[in-house]
Every structure is written in C-alpha cells, then in structure tokens.
C-alpha cells in the first residue's frame, strides 16, 4: 500500500513487489540495497544486527535517514507481530488509493 502512496501505478507496484520478492536487488541503487539488507536482517535475525550494519546504513543514507529507517522497519515488524497475534486479516483493498469513480451515463 505504501508503494501506491509513493506514486506507483498498479503495473509499477506489481513489478516493484516482484523485484523485492525475488531477492535479486542488483537493479536497485546501492543505498536501497543496503536498506533492504538491513531491513531483512532486522526482520529475520535482529539479534545479529551490529554496529557495522548501522555504520554502513549511515554511510549510505546519512545519520537521520538511517535512524528513521531502523525505527520504521522495527515499527513495521512490531505491527505485523501484533496483527498476527490477534489474527487481524489484511485489508482486501488498498485504503490509500483513490476509489474508482463510477462511469456517468450519457444522456440521449
């Protein structure tokens, strides 16, 4: 849903999600790859995240964006775990996208 908020259309969303899911992030910018790697590590093995990981992210994103990124990934993981614990289903529709406007009937 957040990718739609960033301005990607449906085709762009599908392509971006497919690239992310593939694990082959070679087409992404270096700073994006570093962010994705840290996000995966924070999600799967947070106890292994150390100073070298944070330093590398800081080199690529700057201190403020690195802190924001770490906070956001941790928050998303927290929200996912809460939703899973309470078995909250995912929304079926993207609440961030403009609703489709019904077609107007033409007068004869």
**Whole-structure pTM value:** 0.70
How far apart, in whole angstroms, are the C-alpha atoms of residue 104 and residue 106?
A: 6
pLDDT at res. 97 = 62
DSSP code of 101? P
pLDDT along the chain (108 residues), means of 10: 63 79 89 94 95 97 95 92 86 66 64
Delimit the domains of the chain by residue range. Answer: 27-85
Angle at 7 between CA 54 and CA 26, to 5 degrees: 45
């Amino acid at each position: 849903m957040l990718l739609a908020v960033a301005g990607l259309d449906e085709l762009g969303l599908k392509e971006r999600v497919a690239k992310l899911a593939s694990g082959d992030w070679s087409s992404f910018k270096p700073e994006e790859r570093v962010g994705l790697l840290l996000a995966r590590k924070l999600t799967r093995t947070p106890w292994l995240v150390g100073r070298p990981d944070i330093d590398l992210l800081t080199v690529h994103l700057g201190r403020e964006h690195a802190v924001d990124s770490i906070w956001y990934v941790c928050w998303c993981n927290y929200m996912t775990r809460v939703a899973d614990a309470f078995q909250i289903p995912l929304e079926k529709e993207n609440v961030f996208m403009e609703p489709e406007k019904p077609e107007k009937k033409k007068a004869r």
